[in-house]
Amino acid sequence: MFLAVAMDASGIPAAKPHYADAKATYVTLVDPQNALSDALGFKVIPNGFLIDEAGVLQFMQVGGFDVKRQRSMTAVEDFLARAPVKAGAPAPKAPSDSERISQLKKTLSGEPGNAEAKLQLGKVYLRQGKPDAAMPLLKDAAASMAKSPEAQFALGSCLLAKGDKKAGVAQLRKALKLDSKNYVIRKQIWLVEHPEKFHPEIDWGWQREQLRKELAAEGGGG
Amino acid sequence: MRRATAGAGDGSPLHEGRAQGTPIRSGAVDCGMTPLLALTAVLASGPIEVGQMVPDVTLTDMDGKAVRLSEFRGKKVILFTWASW
């Protein structure tokens, strides 16, 4: 089973044309809120995660995963050749959206100031395409969790979803300042600010120069 | 999908990385990275390790429907992350 996940803050509209161009016959997903990068801890792409039948991670390549490369292909071939893993005890499953919303609302009814609950509820609404419902929750969460790149990124994504590019980028920059090595955030800012450098072709020379400039400005060297 | 891998060999720290896991054959982890790339790879490492259960993350399909990774249990999964940028 091949799953492709687009890490695009702009969501389905950004990813869909590329899946169409690729005539994708595999499972095509999108992760506009970086839920996967938060859960697995990656800050660059492209990545490959090989997960067995029991849901256990058997191999990962963070950065540079490309099935056209021998290194990546060898890992995939070896993984697929392995004997199937027998199912063990059922692994815990995440609650459905409706269960999650119900849980988080219950938490917030008892603890109206619970910023983490607001953040998570806002992210569920945002993923469901309800930025208006998400906005007040994410604003509160970002204000209460000023040191959380996740909270700042979520609010930035919500602002972008509502079409407020200027405020959205400013918020993404707050997230990047808190997590300056996070290229998933950094490059999404570039895409919003300089779409012409990404469509119809990616300007890799521009990206290298932009990265050099930004790292120098941040005092991180190049 | 072309964009997801384009430029992977250009030496950019944005596209190099590290490998971890048993299926890979010898020499795969030593991928000849420069110190800068190696540093980037270390910084890119996250909390999950090979051998751990993958969290049941909820994603979205192209129709806007929520999809949980747990829905694919019982199958070998090759999870590939990319972006249009």
Is the confidence at residue B19, as pLDDT, over 80?
Answer: no
Burial label, A101 (beta-carbon count in 10 A; 0-12, 13-18, 19+): middle
Answer yes or no: are the C-beta atoms of A210 and B13 closer than 8 Å.
no
Is the confidence at residue A222, as pLDDT, over 50?
Answer: no
Tokens standing for residue A96 = 């459905």
Q: Which residue on chain B is closest to A19 by alpha carbon?
A: B1
B77: which residues sit within 8 A by CB, 6+ positions away? A1, A3, A49, A50, A51, A52, B69
Would you tell me how many other CB atoms lie within 10 Å of the CB of residue A37?
25
Quick: pLDDT tens for A37-53. Answer: 889 988 888 999 999 99
Among the ranges given (A58-72, A95-109, A143-157, B69-83), the one the predictor scored with the smallest mean pLDDT: A58-72
Give per-residue burial for A68-98: e unless 16+ CB within 10 Å, then b. ebebbeebbebbeeeeeeeeeeeeeeeeeee
For the residues B1-25, what does the mean pLDDT come to?
A: 42
For the residues A134-149, what does the mean pLDDT come to?
A: 97
CB atoms A187 and B20 under 8 Å: no
Strand order across the beta sheet in which B58-61 lies: B18-21, A57-62, A47-51, B77-82, A2-6, A27-30, B58-61, B66-68
pLDDT exceeding 70 applies to what percent of chain A? 96
Q: How far is B57 from chain A (nearest CA, A)?
A: 6
For the residues B33-42, what does the mean pLDDT come to?
A: 33
Give the up-direction half-sphere exposure of residue A91: CA atoms within 13 A in the CB hemisphere: 20
Q: Which of B4, B49, B59 sits opposite A46 (nearest CB)?
A: B4
Among the ranges given (A133-137, A174-178, A218-222, B72-76), the one the predictor scored with the smallest mean pLDDT: A218-222
Is the confidence at residue A199, as pLDDT, over 90?
Answer: no
Whole-number pLDDT of residue A165: 92
Would you tell me how many other CB atoms lie within 10 Å of the CB of residue A167?
15
For the residues B71-79, what does the mean pLDDT come to?
A: 94
User: ipTM of this model?
Assistant: 0.76
Is the confidence at residue A148, as pLDDT, over 90?
Answer: yes
Residue, of A220 and A36, whose pLDDT is higher: A36
Among the ranges given (A15-19, A41-45, A54-58, B16-20), the one the predictor scored with the smallest mean pLDDT: B16-20
Tokens standing for residue A42 = 């990656």
For the residues B22-42, what does the mean pLDDT come to?
A: 32
CB atoms A63 and B44 under 8 Å: yes
For the residues B69-83, what does the mean pLDDT come to?
A: 93
Residue, of A76 and B10, whose pLDDT is higher: A76
Q: At what angle do helices A183-193 and A204-217 cross, to 10 degrees?
A: 110
Residue from A12, A33, A43, A50 to probe the interface with B (highest B Cβ count within 10 Å): A50
* DSSP letter (8 states) at residue A199: S
Quick: pLDDT tens for A57-113. Answer: 999 998 889 888 888 899 999 999 988 887 666 666 778 889 999 999 999 999 999
Sort out which chain A residues have CB atoms less than 8 A from B26's CB and list them: none
Angle (CA) A104 A98 A32, round 5°: 85
Tokens standing for residue A105 = 């609302």
Is the confidence at residue B11, as pLDDT, over 50?
Answer: no
Whole-number pLDDT of residue B70: 92
User: Sorting pLDDT into bands at 50, 70 and 90, what band is A156?
Assistant: very high
Q: Which of B15, B20, B45 is nearest to B30 (CA)?
A: B20
